[in-house]
């Protein structure tokens, strides 16, 4: 019996212990395969937030980009350096300019055969020419400090920016450094040449894992949809059309609701992606207020109207481009042209809508259902009389309020609704009744 117990104990020792609560390492995969701009910066922030939320053990970036905006690249680098878990980059094609900077910020760099990394000279938007030296100096310092942080040669990182830096056996003066996969391996800017994400994980001792590919939510897809300049132009058209039809049919509510909704869809996506600054939004609303004041308060069309239109159109263009408080050196010329065409296209379409669509809309069945369009003719029994109305024609009085062109007048200490023939009449001016229309007096200004 004792021998049997010993044999049973030996067999039990060979049985593996159950692993309660143990799970596969979680790997989150994200992609940088487009221009580095505010949208990409927001995508990276969302992706790394998700990595923290799901408690990922590793993060891998699949990279293929020619670079983009320096400021957004710096924001991405700062976020990567703050990440608490290992983050690796897989360059399957290109990591140029800002892409090189982001790659150097990662803990490990892996490259596919035929991939490249480097060419990080800062260029001006639109022209493609090298930006002023202050931007090159800033980029050099970021590349140098980022390389030092991850134990890579800072001189090589600087050489990817500045063609004046010559490094023995690597680059001659007059050309910036761009490494192939084999060159990056040789000089410490690549850990290994690989062909897949799976190969990277196996090299790092993670043969069995759970891969989670980050996908933006439907809300983020909607936001990205409304960032399209063509859609922005349509939204501007809806804003103008809504305001116009609300003024034509006060109290209906639907046109102003459509205008406000379009304004929200226009502003919010650009604000969330870091394009619309607070001062740009304030300028837009100030411009709209000035236009309203010009139309309803100040007679004629002058400084307020011109300033309002300038602020409104200018702020809409600025909201769509990634300028640094009127500094357009780093903004691609194409972005400015597209934004301007979208704004002016929307404004032109809005004006066309007001002149052409306004007439058709006012005659439509829908308009007749929501607006009071019936007339109350005298032949149908509708009347409106003043006491002694015949005695009012030809009488003179004074403007009790300003007439622009409608308002109130006083005749023999009695106040009446009145309107002019299109002229503006100031309060206190002498007026004469020339006609009675319904319950309103038609007057003209009496000049000495």
Residue 381 is predicted with a pLDDT of 44
Over the stretch 326-344, which tens digit does the pLDDT of each residue have? Answer: 666 656 666 677 777 777 7
* pTM of the predicted model as reported, rounded to 2 decimal places: 0.62
What's CA 284's distance to the chain center, in Å? Answer: 14
Same domain, 206 and 236: no
Q: Which domain holds residue 406?
A: 378-445
Please state, in angstroms and rounded to a whole number, the distance separating the CA atoms of residues 30 and 83: 14
Domain contains 299: yes
Same domain, 52 and 188: yes
Q: List, in order, residues 6 or more apart from 249 with CB less than 8 Å away.
A: 255, 367, 370, 371
What's the mean pLDDT in 188-203?
94
Same domain, 173 and 242: no
Residue 233 is predicted with a pLDDT of 78
Domain contains 144: yes
User: Where a domain ends, among 148, 183, 213?
Assistant: 213
More reliable by pLDDT, 390 or 263: 263
CATH number for the domain including 392? 2.40.50.140
> With 60 as the cut, is the pLDDT of residue 366 above it?
no
Residue 333 is predicted with a pLDDT of 63
Let me know: does 242 contact 236? Beta carbons within 8 Å.
Answer: no
Domain contains 336: yes
> With 90 as the cut, is the pLDDT of residue 145 above it?
yes
CATH number for the domain including 167? 3.90.226.10
More reliable by pLDDT, 159 or 350: 159
Over the stretch 49-88, which tens digit does the pLDDT of each residue have? Answer: 999 999 999 999 999 998 888 888 898 999 999 999 999 9
Best CA proximity match to 102, nearest among 34, 46, 199: 34
Same domain, 136 and 204: yes
The tally of domains found in the chain comes to 3
Q: Is 205 left (phi over 0), alpha (psi -120 to 50) or beta?
A: left
Please state, in angstroms and rounded to a whole number, the distance separating the CA atoms of residues 58 and 106: 12
Best CA proximity match to 37, nearest among 284, 270, 197, 254: 270
Over the stretch 12-29, which tens digit does the pLDDT of each residue have? Answer: 444 444 444 558 899 999
Same domain, 244 and 359: yes
User: Where a domain ends, among 370, 392, 420?
Assistant: 370
Q: What are phi and psi of 218, to 5 degrees?
A: -65, -35
Over the stretch 292-302, which tens digit does the pLDDT of each residue have? Answer: 777 667 765 67
User: Where a domain ends, among 176, 193, 213?
Assistant: 213
> With 90 as the cut, is the pLDDT of residue 41 above it?
no
Domain contains 9: no
In Å, how far are 300, 360, 370, 386 from 245, measured between CA atoms?
22, 12, 12, 33
CB neighbour class for 35 (10 Å; exposed up to 12, middle 13-18, buried from 19): middle
Over the stretch 273-322, which tens digit does the pLDDT of each residue have? Answer: 767 788 888 888 888 888 777 766 776 567 777 888 788 888 888 887 77
What's the mean pLDDT in 221-238?
77
What's the mean pLDDT in 244-251?
64
């Amino acid at each position: 019996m004792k021998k049997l117990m010993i044999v049973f104990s030996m067999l039990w020792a060979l049985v593996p212990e159950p692993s309660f609560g143990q799970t596969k390492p979680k790997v989150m995969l994200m992609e940088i395969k487009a221009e580095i701009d505010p949208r990409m910066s927001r995508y990276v922030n969302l992706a790394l937030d998700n990595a923290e939320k799901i408690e990922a053990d590793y993060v891998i970036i699949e990279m293929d980009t020619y670079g983009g905006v320096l400021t957004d690249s710096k924001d991405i680098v700062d976020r990567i350096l703050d990440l608490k878990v290992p983050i690796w980059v897989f360059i399957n094609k290109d990591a140029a300019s800002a892409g090189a900077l982001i790659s150097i910020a990662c803990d490990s760099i892996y490259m596919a055969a035929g991939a490249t990394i480097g060419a990080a000279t800062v260029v001006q938007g639109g022209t493609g020419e090298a930006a002023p030296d202050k931007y090159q100096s800033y980029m050099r310092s970021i590349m140098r400090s980022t390389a030092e942080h991850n134990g890579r040669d800072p001189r090589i990182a600087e050489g990817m920016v500045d063609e004046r830096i010559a490094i023995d056996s690597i680059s001659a003066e007059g050309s910036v450094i761009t490494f192939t996969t084999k060159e990056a391996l040789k000089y410490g800017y690549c850990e290994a040449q690989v062909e897949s994400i799976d190969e990277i994980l196996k090299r790092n001792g993670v043969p069995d894992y759970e891969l989670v590919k980050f996908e933006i939510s439907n809300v983020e897809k909607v936001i990205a949809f409304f960032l399209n300049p063509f859609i922005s132009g349509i939204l501007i058209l809806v804003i103008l059309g809504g305001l116009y039809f609300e003024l034509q049919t006060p109290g209906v509510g639907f046109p102003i609701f459509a205008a406000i909704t379009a304004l929200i869809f226009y502003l919010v996506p650009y604000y969330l992606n870091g394009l619309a600054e607070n001062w740009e939004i304030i300028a837009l609303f100030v411009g709209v207020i000035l236009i309203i004041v010009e139309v309803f308060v100040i007679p004629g069309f002058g400084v307020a109207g011109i300033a309002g239109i300038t602020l409104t159109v200018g702020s809409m263009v600025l909201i769509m481009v990634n300028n640094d408080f009127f500094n357009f050196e780093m903004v691609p010329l194409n972005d400015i042209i597209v934004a301007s065409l979208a704004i002016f296209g929307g404004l032109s379409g809005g004006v066309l809508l007001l002149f052409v669509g306004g007439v058709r809309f006012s005659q439509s069945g829908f308009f007749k259902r929501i607006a009071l369009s019936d007339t109350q003719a005298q032949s149908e029994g509708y009347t409106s009389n003043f006491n002694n109305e015949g005695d009012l024609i030809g009488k003179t009085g004074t403007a009790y309020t300003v007439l622009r062109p409608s308002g109130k007048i006083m005749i023999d200490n009695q106040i009446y609704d009145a309107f002019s023939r299109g002229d503006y009449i100031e309060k206190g001016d002498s007026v004469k009744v020339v006609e009675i229309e319904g319950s309103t007096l038609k007057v003209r200004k009496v000049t000495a």
